[in-house]
Amino acid sequence: MIPAIRTSYNQQFTPAQYQAFLDGIAADTGVVPAFRIAETPVFVPAALGSKLVQACEEIVDVLLRPDFKTITKDAIPPSLKVPRENEHPHFIVIDFAVCKTDDGALVPQLIELQGFPTMLAFQEVMARRFKTHFNIPATLSNFFNGLDESSYYQLLRDMIIGPFAPEEVILLEIKPEEQKTRIDFHSTEKNLGITTVCLTALIQEGKKLYYLRDGVKTPVQRIYNRIIFDDLQQQSETLGEHVNLFQDLDVEWITHPNWFYRISKYIMPFIHSEFVPKSWFLHELPVVPADLENYVLKPLFSFGGQGVLIDVTPEDIDRIKDPENWILQRKVKYAPAITTPTGPAICEIRMIYIWQDGAARPVLVHNLARISKGKMIGVGFNSKDTWVGGSCCFFEF
């Protein structure tokens, strides 16, 4: 998206460089990615970067509303509420489509947001390997707010491990080695020194949790949570014996599971910004728009694009039995903004925030990108294309 840098990158690219890049990632993490990684990063021009930051800060302002917990009290399904919720999430991720205005200017449009961590460790590995194997100008950065590789990982250690010993903090997931994000678990273990633990391996004694570390029963003081709790609820009966995480346990959550639901597409109707598509809770929709083809219908409590109706009809709306659990959102038109040797591509940019305990506001730290040439943007939809997949951004400041 920075034309001169894009042209130079495409001209200098070779398949051998790309393979060396992938080999470097595998060497750094000890595992081969379970998803496709794109041949290119995204080069974000200063004007678009400024709009992305502005959009994020306008969203953060909503999160700072004194009544935020009140307006999101129905965001958490009653069966998924977990005790000991804290005052704010430790992680926030905000996803934007890259679009164009009528006059051709690049603009972000909000797609999704979550109070949940993302590929925090792996994204640094990917960005570093891009810089190692390709000619990425030193004037561009994958970090924000003055961070570099060293200070970024120190921030993650402070956030995730805090005052505890690394062995007392675990990354918790369901069947972690079956997850597509497992490369991030390996990167986290390597760079932070904590262990990835499957839910079924937890040991409970009273309100205390333990796990076996090299055969030694070790207390769990903090959980770096990577479990999505509606997934847990759906899989619960097939997991065999496991700790019930919905009870009051003597453990700290980084970040608490309730924030996944509070900060989600549920809050889109509360955000008023030129970078946020107009959205309504379906049960509060004043009138069905005449141009319904320009809207998308999304279930509130489904994630990863499941259940979304892209081509909405009045009959679809009439069939909804629980309109309070759906939002109607103005459709976003992705721009074919990335020029690749095999045709134009669209992209989403994820802005990654960390919110330390005691801080007045969360801080923007890193990013993630997804590049696609199809109708769907997720990395799982790009298996047959090239110059698509998971990626990262380098911003012009």
Same domain, 130 and 246: yes
Residue 100 counted as domain residue: yes
**pLDDT at residue 86 in the model:** 96
In what helix (H) or strand (E) does residue 146 lie, and over which residues does it extend?
Answer: none
Same domain, 199 and 325: no
Tens digit of each residue's pLDDT, the chain (397 residues): 899 999 999 999 999 999 999 999 999 999 999 999 999 999 999 999 999 999 999 999 999 999 999 999 999 999 999 999 999 999 999 999 999 999 999 999 999 999 999 999 999 999 999 999 999 999 999 999 999 999 999 999 999 999 999 999 999 999 999 999 999 999 999 999 999 999 999 999 999 999 999 999 999 999 999 999 988 988 988 999 999 999 999 999 999 999 999 999 999 999 999 999 999 999 999 999 999 999 999 998 876 667 889 899 999 999 999 999 999 999 999 999 999 999 999 999 999 999 999 999 999 999 999 999 986 565 455 457 899 999 999 999 9
Answer for the pair 116, 354: CB distance below 8 angstroms, yes or no: no
Residue 143 counted as domain residue: yes
The domain total for the chain is 2
Looking only at the bridges linking them, the beta strands covering 140-141 and 393-396 are: antiparallel
Same domain, 271 and 324: no
Same domain, 107 and 34: yes
Same domain, 185 and 306: no
Residue 304 counted as domain residue: yes
Residue 336 counted as domain residue: no
Residue 298 counted as domain residue: yes
Same domain, 238 and 352: yes
**pLDDT at residue 229 in the model:** 92
Same domain, 203 and 309: no
Residue 337 counted as domain residue: no
352 burial class (0-12, 13-18, 19+ CB within 10 angstroms)?
buried
**pLDDT at residue 380 in the model:** 53
**pLDDT at residue 384 in the model:** 76
Same domain, 255 and 300: no
Same domain, 327 and 381: no
Domain that holds residue 318: 279-331
Residue 133 counted as domain residue: yes
Same domain, 293 and 319: yes
The helices-and-strands tally (H runs, E runs) of the chain is 10, 18
Same domain, 324 and 380: no
Residue 297 counted as domain residue: yes
Same domain, 273 and 183: yes
* Other beta carbons within 10 Å of 121: 23
Give the predicted TM-score (pTM) of the model.
0.94
**pLDDT at residue 383 in the model:** 59
If we measure between CA atoms, which residue out of 93, 85, 78, 83 comes closest to residue 259? 85
